[in-house]
């Protein structure tokens, strides 16, 4: 391959990523290469001057909504991205890109970073600047990533993009009963990861809606969730709109970082966007598990509307 062809390839990849907003995964599929190769090409483009980045601070919120949410819930920060009318996917990607900026700004060498699962976290993993390099340790915050397999788990993709060290958790997220969970959790290979949850510097997780089913959690647990008015979940831990963690039987048989302890982590980043996440975000903020929120402007406005001007959080 000549230098001219090399530069042409770098330009093509750079335009696809920076101008067209394609993910590294989709670029890799288009070019018939691997995602790490795309990451390497983007780094090479920066190094050769094909791409020049001018930093314009877009993380600051475009309205008072973020400041209002931050004040009312005593959060460290709130970051809101523009919403794309009629396209939840574009909004999710924009929120993911903003969340990636928030995360990389918070990281330092030597930190331990915990990564949850879900579409919002997956969007973040797609949007991390491939030129970022942090000597951190990355661990999953729960076992058994239901929607992803193999090397596609968000924590591995985040570690790869950051040039960090990943430690996997070879365990399902949800077991049949608490006794099985306890027995599996005592295994040295599992403890190697779960013990790090007490030393996390940064945690990143999605705020999920009530997506439970009888097939997933069982009939008894489903009834418990319905009876307790669960409206969302963080790391397989359900909560109600007042932020109370409920349905303890589900939490007791899961291998996941205890969402009730997230308030102890210096930087606890919750990500969610879209109309279906308005009520779950409100409950999550009331729970105290989140101290940094990343969402879109329309969702943030609706959360404030639910509170009302005189409501107490």
Structure confidence by residue, pLDDT tens digits, 245-254:
998 889 899 9
**pLDDT recorded at residue 73:** 96
pLDDT value of residue 1: 41
Q: Number of helices and strands (H, E) in the chain?
A: 14, 9
What stretches in the chain show pLDDT beneath 70? 1-5, 53-63, 85-86, 145-152, 310-313
Residue 60 has a pLDDT of 45
Give all domains of the chain, ordered by start, each with its CATH number: 3-47 (1.10.10.10), 65-307 (3.40.50.1360)
| Interstrand relation of 232-234 and 267-271 (parallel, antiparallel or unpaired) | unpaired
DSSP per residue over 273-308, as a string? -SGGGHHHHHHHHHHT--SEEEEEHHHHHHHHHHH-
What are the DSSP calls for 141-199, one per residue?
A: SBS--TT--GGGSHHHHHHHHHT-EE----S-SB-SSHHHHHHHHTSHHHHHHHGGGGG
Task: Phi first, then psi: give them for residue 202, nearest 5 degrees.
Answer: -140, 135
Would you state the pLDDT for residue 56?
Answer: 52
Q: CB of 205 within 8 A of CB of 116?
A: yes
Cα dihedral across residues 138, 141, 144, 149: positive or negative: negative
Alpha carbon 84 to its chain centroid, in Å, reads 20
> What's the pTM value of the predicted model, to 2 decimals?
0.79
Say what the pLDDT of residue 61 is.
45
Token pair belonging to 74? 């005593």
Q: Beta strands 292-296 and 77-81: pairing type?
A: parallel
């Amino acid at each position: 391959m000549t230098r001219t062809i090399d530069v042409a390839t770098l330009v093509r990849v750079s335009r696809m990523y920076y101008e067209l907003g394609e993910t590294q995964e989709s670029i890799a599929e288009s070019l018939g290469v691997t995602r790490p190769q795309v990451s390497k090409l983007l780094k090479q483009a920066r190094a050769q001057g094909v791409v020049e980045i001018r930093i314009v601070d877009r993380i600051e919120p475009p309205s008072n909504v973020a400041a209002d949410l931050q004040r009312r819930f005593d959060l460290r920060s709130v970051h809101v991205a523009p919403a794309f009318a009629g396209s939840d996917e574009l909004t999710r990607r924009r929120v993911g890109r903003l969340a990636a900026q928030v995360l990389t700004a918070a990281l330092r060498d030597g930190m331990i970073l915990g990564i949850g699962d879900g579409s919002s976290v997956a969007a973040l993993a797609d949007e991390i600047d491939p030129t970022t390099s942090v000597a951190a340790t990355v661990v999953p915050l729960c076992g058994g990533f239901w929607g992803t397999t193999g090397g596609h788990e968000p924590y591995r993709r985040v570690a790869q993009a950051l040039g960090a060290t990943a430690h996997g958790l070879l365990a399902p997220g949800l077991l049949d009963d608490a006794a099985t969970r306890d027995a599996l959790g005592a295994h040295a290979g599992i403890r190697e990861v779960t013990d790090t949850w007490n030393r996390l510097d940064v945690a990143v997780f999605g705020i999920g809606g009530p997506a439970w089913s009888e097939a997933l959690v069982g009939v008894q647990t489903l009834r418990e969730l319905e009876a307790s008015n669960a409206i969302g979940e963080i790391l397989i831990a359900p909560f109600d709109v007042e932020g109370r963690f409920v349905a303890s039987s589900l939490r007791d048989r899961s291998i996941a970082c205890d969402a009730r302890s997230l308030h102890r982590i210096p930087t606890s980043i919750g990500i969610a966007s879209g109309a279906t996440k308005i009520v779950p975000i409100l409950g999550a903020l009331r729970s105290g598990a989140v101290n940094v929120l990343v969402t879109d402007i329309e969702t943030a406005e609706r959360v404030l509307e639910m509170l009302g001007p005189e409501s107490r959080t």
